[in-house]
């Protein structure tokens, strides 16, 4: 019984669209996140002088806002993915569910 259901799902064109779009979107956001994160790590490794440079007259250095940006960017990327997953990806999943169980 379960094998038949699995085969029905695998034959559904919406399933292939879901897998393709979700994978492509997930990898694109992953690449973007890796670029930001490892860019920051590379700055730490190779340009400590820039990160230690003060941004004004106080004690704030460039490393603090850039580090905060990495953290905020992570939250934003997660929110962007969740928004699309709750919209487009859930709609495709529901369409697959309706077709398979019809």
Domain ranges of the chain: 2-100
Residue environment code for 13-24, b if the CB has 16+ CB neighbours within 10 A, otherwise e: ebbeebeeebee
Q: Give the pLDDT confidence of 25-47 residue by residue, as tens digits.
A: 999 999 999 999 999 999 999 99
Measured CA to CA, the distance from residue 41 to residue 38 in angstroms comes to: 5
Q: Give the pLDDT confidence of 47-96 residue by residue, as tens digits.
A: 999 999 999 899 999 999 999 999 999 999 999 999 999 999 998 889 88
pLDDT at residue 2 tops 70? yes
Helix, strand, coil content of the chain in percent (nearest 5): 85, 0, 15
pLDDT recorded at residue 3 = 77
């Amino acid at each position: 019984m379960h094998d038949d259901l699995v085969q029905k799902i695998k034959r559904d064109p919406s399933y292939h669209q879901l897998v393709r779009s979700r994978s492509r979107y997930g990898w694109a956001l992953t690449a973007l996140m890796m670029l930001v994160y490892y860019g920051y790590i590379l700055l730490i490794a190779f340009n400590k002088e820039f990160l230690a440079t003060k941004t004004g007259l106080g004690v704030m250095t460039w490393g603090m806002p850039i580090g905060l940006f990495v953290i905020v960017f992570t939250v934003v990327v997660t929110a962007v993915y969740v928004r699309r997953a709750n919209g487009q990806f859930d709609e495709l999943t529901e369409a697959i569910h309706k077709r398979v169980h019809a």
